[in-house]
Amino acid sequence: MNKAAKQTLALASIFQTTALVHQLASTGQCDSHSNKASLNSIVSQSDDVDEIFSSPEDLRVGFESLKTLLEKKPINMQNIMLYSTALINLEKKLMKKPQLLTQISAEIDHIKKQDFFEIHHSNSIARLAELYKNTLGSLNPTIMVRGEQIYLTNRHTANHIRALLLAGIRAVSLWKSQGGKTWHFLLNKKKLFTTLTPWVHNQVKTNTCINSTETL
């Protein structure tokens, strides 16, 4: 897989985490398969984006969101764009805080070693949320998530959102490791759409649970 393709996968993974955050904040639910794939990326031993997301189904929500944006159909995309931009800026600030990086890495390594909860289990999500709150949550400006108050004030939903934002930071890191830059995205949308299209078509053919959701 060439560099442009890996950049596209990593960019889709950013949009996937923020789209899932938007789903949770708006409905209290999110796509189950994409959720598991994004959370699993946090503890993946690989730094190769096409190994972390080995199936088109793993990034279905990300592909759909990115395709919608590139087609200039920004329905419900405002918050997703805001969160994605905020994550890119937050990751930049994190790279200047070696102590926070060490703390995050150590806690994730500890979570990897636990063998009694899967990463999408509520206990694991709570630990990821606490890690986000104690590290990335201390950096300003904080990411303000918009949605329905009934979901945003729910402890489990709030934990889930923070865990996905942590997955978003991982996605930004993967994107930047492949040479991803914001201005590339803004100037090369046509090339990006060309790279994205085969995955979207493949995902549509293989997907069997288009409306799968996870209730918190």
Span 111-139, pLDDT tens digits: 887 756 788 888 899 999 999 999 999 99
* Euclidean distance between CA atoms 5 and 179, whole angstroms: 11
Neighbours of 160 (CB within 10 A): 28
**pTM of the full predicted structure?**
0.86
**What are the 10-residue block averages of pLDDT along the chain, 216 residues in total?**
82 95 96 95 91 89 86 77 94 95 93 76 92 94 93 96 97 91 60 58 42 39
| CATH dotted code for 3-215 | 1.10.3890.10
Span 32-45, pLDDT tens digits: 999 999 999 999 98
Can you read off the two tokens belonging to residue 87? Answer: 């994550």
* Euclidean distance between CA atoms 109 and 89, whole angstroms: 24
Q: Where are the alpha helices (DSSP H) in the chain?
A: 3-27, 32-43, 49-52, 60-70, 78-94, 98-113, 122-134, 149-152, 155-177, 182-187, 189-206
Residue 130 confidence (pLDDT): 96
